[in-house]
Amino acid sequence: MNKLQQVFAGGKAFIPFITAGDPSLEITEQLVLQMAEAGADLIELGIPFSDPIAEGPVIQEADNRALAGGATTDKIFSMVESIRKSCQVPLAFMTYVNPIFTYGTDKFMKKCKEIGIDAVIVPDVPFEEKEELLPFCSKYDVTLISMIAPTSNNRIRMIASEAQGFIYCVSSMGVTGVRQEIGNDVEEMIKLVKEVKDIPCAIGFGISTPEQAKQMAQFADGVIVGSAIVKIIGQYGVDCVPQVVEYVRSMKNSIK
C-alpha cells in the first residue's frame, strides 16, 4: 500500500492545509509534527506564490507573510527533510505551476521524491495541461492530484478516469475561504466520480466547523480544511501551535 492509500484506509480522512513559512518555517515544522499526532491523515503544505489566483484573502495573506519572512522553495525542501527524520505522515505540496516550472519541473519532482513528498496539487493545471507535470510526476513517483469543481459537469468522467491517488472535490464556486453554506452539488459530483472509478474523494473549499466536516464526511472520503486553520495561524502567529492542534483534533474527532 502506498502512502496515499494509507490516508483513506482508516476511515474518513482529515486533511489540513497550511502555508509553509507562515509565520516561519520553524513553526511550520512544529505544526506538521503536531498536527500529525493530533490525527491529520495527510497534510497539505502550501508553497507560497506571489499571485495565488485560486485563493481567497486569508491564504493570500498567508502567502504574503511567508514570502516576506523569506520562505523559498529550497528552504521548504530543507524543512521537509528535517520533518522526515521523525515523522512519516503523508505530505502533499500545494502550489501554482509557475514556482514548479521555473524551478525546473524535473528537478522539482526529483527533489519531492528524495525528501518524501507523496503528492502535488496544482490548481492552475487543469486536465488539458497536465502533460506539463505528469511525465515528471510519474518519473519520480509523485502523485499528481486531479481537481473537480461544481462547474465540471461533463468533464467529471474524463477527469476521474485518469485520476490518481484521490480526487480533490472543490465544494463551491470561487476561491478558497470559510463559508457559511456549502451546496449539495458536491454529493452529486462524488456520485459521478464513483460511477467511473473507485477512487477516494476529498472535499475542500469553505469547510471550517466540525458540523460541516461531519456533514461532508457522510458522502466524502476525506475533508480538506485550509483557510480556517490559516486564520488561526494569522491570529496567533508564533503562538499558534497549541490552538491549531486543538482545532485539528476537534475536526478529526467530528468525522471519526
Q: Is 171 left (phi over 0), alpha (psi -120 to 50) or beta?
A: alpha
Q: How far is the CB of 112 from another protein (least distance, A)?
A: 15
Q: How far is the CB of 148 from another protein (least distance, A)?
A: 6
CB 181 within 8 A of CB 149: no
Verify binding: residue 78, another protein, rule CB under 8 A: no
Give the SS3 label for residue 171.
coil
CA distance 1 to 161: 21
CB 36 within 8 A of CB 90: no
CA distance 76 to 58: 21
- The footprint of another protein on this chain (CB under 8 A) covers a number of residues equal to 42
Question: Quick one: which segment of 8-16, 68-76, 77-85, 243-251 binds another protein (CB under 8 A)?
Answer: 68-76
CB 93 within 8 A of CB 117: yes
From the centroid of its chain, how far is CA 12? 15
State whether the Cα torsion 17-28-102-115 is positive or negative.
negative
Neighbours of 44 (CB within 10 A): 27
240: DSSP letter: -
- Closer to another protein by CB, 153 or 235: give it: 153
Please pick, from the candidates 126, 140, 214, 219, the single residue that binds another protein as defined by CB under 8 A. 126
Cell of 140: 519520480
Verify binding: residue 56, another protein, rule CB under 8 A: yes
CA distance 140 to 148: 24
Question: Quick one: which segment of 37-45, 129-137, 229-237, 247-255 binds another protein (CB under 8 A)?
Answer: 129-137
Question: Quick one: which segment of 1-9, 170-178, 182-190, 191-199 binds another protein (CB under 8 A)?
Answer: 170-178
Annotate each residue in 81-120 with x if it binds another protein (CB under 8 A) or - if it does not, as one string. ----------------xxxxxxx-----------------
- Closer to another protein by CB, 50 or 78: give it: 50
Verify binding: residue 72, another protein, rule CB under 8 A: yes
Please pick, from the candidates 30, 73, 82, 243, the single residue that binds another protein as defined by CB under 8 A. 73
Q: Helix 241-255 to helix 25-37 angle, to the nearest 10 degrees?
A: 30
Q: How far is the CB of 116 from another protein (least distance, A)?
A: 21
Region 15-54 residues binding another protein, contact defined as CB under 8 A: 49-51, 53-54
- Residues lying near another protein in the complex (CB under 8 A): 49-51, 53-54, 56-57, 60, 67, 72-74, 97-103, 123-129, 131-132, 147-155, 159, 170, 173-175
